[in-house]
Amino acid sequence: MKYFEVTFSIEPDNELAHDLLPSLAGEIGFESFTDEDGCLKGYIQQDFWNEEALNEIIENIPLPDTKITFTCEEAEYRDWNEEWEKQNFNRVEIGDNLCLIHSSEIEDDDSFCYNISLNPKMAFGTGTHETTSMLVEYIASLDMRNKNAFDMGCGTSILSIMACLRGADKVQAVDIDEWSVENSRENISINGFDKHIEVFLGDASILPINEQKADLFMANINRNILLNDMDKYAKCIASGGTLLISGFYTEDAAVLIEKAASLGFAQTSRNERNNWCMLAFEKKQ
């Protein structure tokens, strides 16, 4: 499969634009982003490329004093991985010595409660983003012994791995991106959870995968997909199980809470960080 690499120019450069663009562009097919030294690049399958839709997003982005332009060129698979490896992902610390996310070239640090080794390549989920770190912190508080989990939009499978570190028996992980599926399997193997985590290629249309119900269903995905697919998530969750979601802004929480309530979920937890939000719900008996 072939991808386009879209390079964005933001004037004046600002952090809010770097947050908003990936979130909005994800709704029209963009799968991954890199953000180095103020240069934001997005990647989208060529079959999904829609220049008109991207222009519409830029025109309607709520940043009246910011000018955004872009250029587009073809990106090959090998070049993607080489560029990510050049970024030299090393380590990300989550919480107060709670969890260390590090590359496979770095040894575990026993001063942390948990160590996760990743080779992220193009997949999302290294712990640097607020949504990922909030989810990792929450999962670390759960007793997952003898329980099952589901990781929707798994990216690197960092959440699946964390669930296994907390004792999860079986985890089903799903991502629509072939590269993320491949990368997830590599990361799962590095961390020694091949027998506990199974990765599938697809989206919510493949749910339920089998009769296995999740005691914990995790989804770090944008607002629109969460709203559209939450009914499918609900069918995969055991009674009394937890739905854990992030990937959206604080102002989107109300509509997601309303949607969850309509499907029989009661809110049990909420966290916010830099205008990003995380919500946890319990599925009623």
10-68 pLDDT tens trace? 999 988 888 889 888 887 888 778 887 778 998 887 878 999 999 999 998 888 899 99
Which strand (E) or helix (H) includes residue 103?
strand 99-103
pLDDT at 89: 59
SS (H, E, C) 162-176: HHHHCCCCEEEEEEC
Give CA–CA dist 5/133, Å, rounded.
Answer: 27
Say if residues 119 and 183 touch (Cβ distance below 8 Å).
Answer: yes
Q: 3.40.50.150, 3.40.50.620, 3.40.50.300, 3.30.505.10: which CATH number matches 127-283?
A: 3.40.50.150
**What architecture (CATH level 2) is domain 3-84?**
2-Layer Sandwich (3.30)
pTM of the model: 0.74
Query: What is the CA 252 to chain-centroid distance, rounded?
Result: 17
Kindly indicate the confidence band of residue 79, based on its pLDDT and cuts at 50, 70 and 90. Answer: very low
* pLDDT (tens digit per residue) in 141-185: 999 999 999 999 998 899 999 999 999 999 999 998 888 899 899
Domain boundaries, the chain: 3-84, 127-283
